[in-house]
Amino acid sequence: MTEFSNDTLFDDGAAAMWRQDAGMLRAVLDVIPDIVSVQSPQLEILFYNKAGLDFLHASSEGTIGRNCYALLGRKEPCDDCLSLKAIRTGNAQEGEKYVPELDVWFEVRAIPVKDDAGSVRCVVEQLRDCTARKRNEERLARVLEELEAKNAELAETSATARMLALRAEESSRAKSAFLANMSHEIRTPMNGILGMVELLLDTGLSMEQRDFGETISSSADHLMELLDDLLDFSKIEAERLTLESAPFNLQELVEDLTVQTAVKGREKNLDVYAVVEPDVPAFFRGDASRLRQVLGNLLSNAVKFTDTGEISLAVSLAQDGILRTLLRFEVADTGIGVPEEKKELLFRPFSQVDASITRRFGGTGLGLAISRGLVELMGGNIGMKDGQSGGALFWFEVPLDKIDHGDIEDLPVDPNLMNTPVLLVGGTSGWRRSVTTHLERWLCAVASAEREGVEACLAGALDAERPFSVVLVDGSSVPEDTPFSPRALPERLRSVSSFYLLDYPSRRWRRAALSDAGYADFVPKPVKRNALKNLLLSGTERAGRIYSENTGAAPAGRKAKVLLVEDSEVNRKVASVMLQRLGCSVSAAHDGFEALDLLRREAFDLVFMDVQMPVLDGIDAVKRIRSGYREIGRPDIPVIAMTARTAPGDREECFAAGMDDYITKPMKMNVLEEILKKWLPGGEAQ
């Protein structure tokens, strides 16, 4: 590093001028904003720069020769004087100093100036005002001190709150345990009262006595319901309620609840229906009684707070796992709804959104609180939102264990119902959706029409040679004053279809009158799945027999022998049943090699070949068929490609490999029927 001296910085004349001209030095020091003073070893002032004189409001003549401490009115140097320390030690000193006479803080630097012998000749003292910074530090220190005090106070308060919370929790559990025990004890005599009243009502009583007895029985039943609610709530609060785990039929549970709700709803002329989405399995493992209790509470509330319209229960898959399924249940109504500011009160115990509701509808306000507790105990969530058509929609999601049922009965297909044409007449959109969900599960072909359009719809289906096997007429579209009569339709339209009237039993339709009007039977609403299935099977068989007698129609397959090559078990079952219904004899292969072996050993009329399969796919398999692989008896046999691929070029690839035709999945009955007509002997391809 280059060293510089006065000689290198200035020429000789400039250096001499610098050393001799004290005015130059004063000018330099005067531009420095800090206070700079030069003091003798006795602390006498030899020099003050302009900043120092301005600060002291003094002149140079009034300060020169005086001690620095005398300028402050002191007789002795300041304690721990840094300038005095620098003179004594010969070393520079730094620090902070508070001057109480001036109420000012300074950052102080004291630098000794020595002669050639090393003796201190004077000391240069630099003072920088740091009062603002020190004031801020003092304020910060006070704030930190206050914060520490607050934190200590908060910690003490928090500890007290935790202690009180533990005591409250213990008290709540003790209260809940007491309620649970008392509710159980009260149930014992109540059971005796109910039993004795029931026995009393079976004896010979006067009309007045019977009225009194029935009033006692009704009041006791209501009291038992309240006790059950209190017992469940207290068990949940006391964490004494346990869940069971057993297989149950979800479809039956939903249907039973819907029928019970419909009975209550008919008093208000409410339409009640349920929709279980087709992809929801029928069987699960879980606590069916608690699930029924939650749904029962929500449905009961829906009836209670709805005067007109409809109530629906919908079940769908929220998330489908390998071993567990997250089911979503939604109960919607067209009732009074819930004000936005009152929604947070819904699931609190012993609360309702309005005191007038308790007076009007009754209840303890425990139903939703119990439902929330049960749902959370099952590992789910529950909530509420506004309904799409007014009213309220309560929902909850709970996980349930799957049960594997591999029978064909559990598949969304029935060999006798697939592609069955069914017409729904009238009714609400909700009712049609409920029935359509069942029908589509069985792969029926569903259409709907209003009462005025029934004749045109039936005529169009008959002209297309696809007459409706079954016509389901909703009772709401058949008012008793002007009943819809299938008998009034042209003979050719009504003779090939079976008409059924669907309505609530409370309407009291007379079967004789229905028969005279042209109905095959009466079906009570809400429609149960098994009842609907039996109705369809009966109606389809009758309609098919009449249509065959009238038209001489025969199955497209005419007992043709068909080879079905498909690796998916479900797709294989569905396609097999469809082909069998169309009159075919079906053999199945799981992959291309198994298909080639069957073709070598047996004679077939037609092959349906899946394109994507493991081991040997359909493209390579058909190439080997066309080449006469291992003495295949009929290399020119018609081969129909079956694939879910619909990308550009897929069809051309199949034809290039040697396929004769091409159909896409999911397969439709009418498409298979056209293929059989086209490629079997006597068809268009011959």
550 band by pLDDT with thresholds 50, 70 and 90: low
Stated pTM of the model: 0.54
Q: Which of 144-158, 193-207, 304-318, 662-676 has the lowest mean pLDDT?
A: 193-207
Predicted pLDDT at 620:
92
Instruction: Compute the average pLDDT of residues 556-564.
Output: 77
* Residue 395: band (very low, low, confident or very high) from pLDDT cuts 50, 70, 90: very high
The answer to whether 378 and 290 are in contact (CB under 8 A) is yes
Q: What is the mean pLDDT of residues 44-73?
A: 84
Confidence tier at 443 by pLDDT (50, 70, 90): confident
> What pLDDT band is residue 472 in, cutting at 50, 70 and 90?
very high
The phi, psi pair for 106, rounded to 5°, reads -125, 145
The stretch 401-417 carries a mean pLDDT of 60
Assign 479 a pLDDT band (cuts: 50, 70, 90).
low
Residue 570 has pLDDT above 80, yes or no: no
Check residue 406 and report its DSSP letter: -
DSSP codes, 113-153: EE-TTS-EEEEEEEEEE-HHHHHHHHHHHHHHHHHHHHHHH
- Indicate if the pLDDT at residue 638 is higher than 90: yes
pLDDT at 417 over 80: no
What pLDDT, on the 0 to 100 scale, is given for residue 537? Answer: 78
Read off the pLDDT of each residue in 111-126 and give the average, rounded to a whole number: 88
Q: Per mean pLDDT, which range of 487-496, 538-547, 583-592 is the poorest? A: 538-547
Give whole-number Cα distances, 155 to 149, 167, 168, 650, in Å.
Answer: 10, 18, 20, 72
- Best mean pLDDT range from 24-38, 218-232, 301-315, 549-563: 301-315
**Residue 544: per-residue pLDDT:** 55
What does residue 98 show for φ and ψ, rounded to 5 degrees?
-100, 130
In one letter, which amino acid is 409? E
Cα torsion through 623, 625, 629, 634, rounded to 10: -150
pLDDT of residue 9: 39
Banded pLDDT at 312 (limits 50, 70, 90): very high
Whether the predicted pLDDT of 26 surpasses 90: no
Quick one: average pLDDT of 609-628? 89
Q: Which of 148-157, 541-550, 584-593 has the lowest mean pLDDT?
A: 541-550
Q: How far apart are CA 494 and CA 487, in angstroms?
A: 7
pLDDT, position 685: 42
pLDDT for 408: 38
- pLDDT computed for residue 646 by the predictor: 64
Read off the pLDDT band of 93 (50, 70, 90).
very high
Nearest to 125 by CA among 187, 54, 44: 44
Span 589-596, average pLDDT:
89
Average pLDDT over residues 15-33: 68
* CA gap 607, 562 in Å, rounded: 6
- What mean pLDDT is predicted for residues 94-112? 89
What lies within 8 Å, CB to CB, of 199 at 6+ separation is none
Shortest CA distance to 179 belongs to which of 358, 352, 370? Answer: 370
CA dist 18 → 14, 121, 587 (Å)? 6, 20, 118
Task: Express as a percent the part of the chain with pLDDT over 90.
Answer: 14
Distance CA 213, CA 199 (A): 10
Of 32, 59, 33, nearest to 47 (Cα)? Answer: 59
SS3 60: helix
DSSP label at 388? B
Instruction: Band the pLDDT of 4: cuts 50, 70, 90.
Output: very low
CA Rg, the chain, in Å?
48
Mean pLDDT of 53-68: 83
- CA dihedral sign of residues 192, 198, 203, 204: positive
Mean pLDDT of all residues belonging to the chain: 80
The pLDDT tens digits of the residues spanning 196-233 come to 777 787 777 777 788 788 878 777 776 776 777 666 66
